[in-house]
Amino acid sequence: MVESYCPSSTARYVTLLVGVPGTALFVFAGVKGIGQIPVLLSCAFVALGLAVARQILFDLTMRVDMDAHSITRSWLLGSVVIPIDEIHRLSWGGARGVLILSIHYGAKRFIQISSNALTKDELRKIHKDVLAEVITAHGLEGSPLRPLFSEQVGYVDIDEMIAMKHQ
C-alpha cells in the first residue's frame, strides 16, 4: 500500500486568495506603523504577518505519503518520517469546522494533519489506513479498540491495546 495525499488545487487557490492579502495587510500595518505606534507593536504586526506567511507556505506544499512501514509528512522546508511501529496513539480534535488528526509516536512526539490542507474524507482514510497498519504491525488483529468507545472518545490508544493483549 502506497498512498499519497496533498491539498487540492481548489484548497490551494482559496489559501492563496485569503492568505496573501492577510499577510500583506499585517506586514504593511507593521511597517507603516513605525513612528506612529510603539515599535514593539509594529514588530508584532510584522511577526504575525511572517507567521501567517509560513502557515500559508505549509498549507500549500504539505504532502502525506504512506507505505506499509512509515508515514511521511513533508513540506517545502522539511519532512517528518514516522515508522508505523512507533505509533502509540491516534486522536481526533478540532473546532469551528476544522478536523485535526494527531498521530502520536515516540516519547511525547506527534504530528497533526488538519482539514485546512486535506479534505475530511482524506483524513478519515489516513486514520483508517494508519490504524490498520499499526494493528497489523503489533499483531493486534481481532483485539477490541481501546478505549472501547473510541468513536465517541476521539482517540485510539495502541499502548493500552498492547497491555490488554498481554494480560
Q: What is the CATH number of the domain that holds 114?
A: 2.30.29
The whole-number pLDDT of residue 148 equals: 57
Choosing from 61, 95, 110, the residue where a domain stops is 61
Q: Are 55 and 71 in a shared domain?
A: no
**Based on the domain organization, do 74 and 123 belong to the same domain?**
yes
Which pTM does this prediction carry?
0.80
User: What is the per-residue pLDDT across 20-73, written as a single tens digit (0 to 9) for each?
Assistant: 999 999 999 989 888 888 889 999 999 999 999 999 999 899 999 998 889 999
> Looking at the 3D structure of the chain, how many domains does it have?
2
Q: For the ranges 7-11, 55-59, 74-78, 163-167, which has the lowest average pLDDT? A: 163-167
Higher pLDDT, 100 or 166: 100
Do 75 and 156 share a structural domain? yes
Q: Which of 61, 83, 98 is the last residue of a domain?
A: 61
Q: Give me the domain span that covers residue 31.
A: 1-61
pLDDT for the residue 11: 85
DSSP 46-97: HHHHHHHHHHHHHHHH-EEEE-SSEEEEEETTEEEEEEGGGEEEEEEEEETT
